[in-house]
Structure formats: structure tokens, C-alpha cells
Amino acid sequence: MTLASARFAGPALALFLGLAAAGCTAIPDRQGYVMDPVLVSAIQPGIDNQQSVQATLGRPTFTGQFTERDWYYVSRQTRQLAFNNPKPVDQTVLHVRFDEAGNVASVEQSGLDQVVGIDPMNAETPTLGRKRGFFRELFGNIGQVGAGGMNAPTSNRD
């Protein structure tokens, strides 16, 4: 190895390792509402109404499916390493419920402990009942439908 090539090998190796390490850093991401604990604690049941909640917290992330009296503010933090799927680090759901008059009835907060992971990649859906093969499903009903036979009563329309 010559002196000139040895002089460039060290910085080139350091640059390569630096770029490789940069690809493995965690990428944080925040989605949804940015929770401010001071503003959230300012919402008091029986004191605030829909207008004051909207002035304090802003518009909700979404409202209830069956009634407009449930407001939800959803905040989620994730981290992603290189080409992997993002993993949730923190999630907060603030549920503000209003009564018929539009006043705050309750304020509830839940976190990541109530999040359930769902794996939609299973090859089959579990069902109750017997396991039957394709041909059994296809031909298993022969002779079962209308099992009364030749002597079964029929309706006579005269």
C-alpha cells in the first residue's frame, strides 16, 4: 500500500462507517394532536362547554360515531429504524364527553396500554365448527337437502 492510498483509506473508511451508522438511527415521528398537559388539565367537567373546549384544545381529531357529544383527541409517537415498520412509543387518547346541554360531563385519558396489535397476515380465519375439506364442503350436502324423499308431502294446486 502506498503512502497516498493509506492517507485516503482512513477518512474513506470513517466516511463509510458514518453513512452506514446514519442509516441505522431511529426516526421519531409524531402523528395527530400535540398534547399539552397544562391545557388538558384546564378542561373541567361541569365548568367548560363545547365552545370553551374548542377554544382551549382546538377541533377534535374525530367525534363519536353515534353521537356528536363525544370528542376524541388522539396523539401518537412512533420510531422507525431504517426500513422497518414504525413502532408506537407513546399514544394518548383524550376523550371529552358532553351532556345534552353541551357542558363537559367527563374527561378521560388512556394510553398505549389499551392498544392491541392485530396481525392480518394469517393464512386462515379461525371459525367455530368442524374442519372439512374442499370436496367435503362441495359434495357433503348431497342427499341432505329435502331428505323427505319420494314420499314427502307436496302441495297440490288444482
As given in the structure block, the three cell numbers for residue 117 are 396489535
Report the candidate in 58, 42, 46 with the shortest Cα–Cα distance to residue 103: 46
- Residue 34 DSSP SS3: coil
Q: Looking at the whole model, is its pTM more than 0.85?
A: no
Write the CB contacts of 80 (distance below 8 Å, at least 6 apart in sequence).
26, 27, 29, 86, 87
pLDDT tens-digit readout, 49-101: 999 999 999 999 999 989 899 999 999 999 988 788 888 889 999 999 999 99
CA 154 distance to own-chain centroid: 56
Q: Where are the domains of the chain?
A: 25-115
In CATH, which of 3.30.1450, 3.90.79, 3.30.420, 1.10.8 is domain 25-115? 3.30.1450
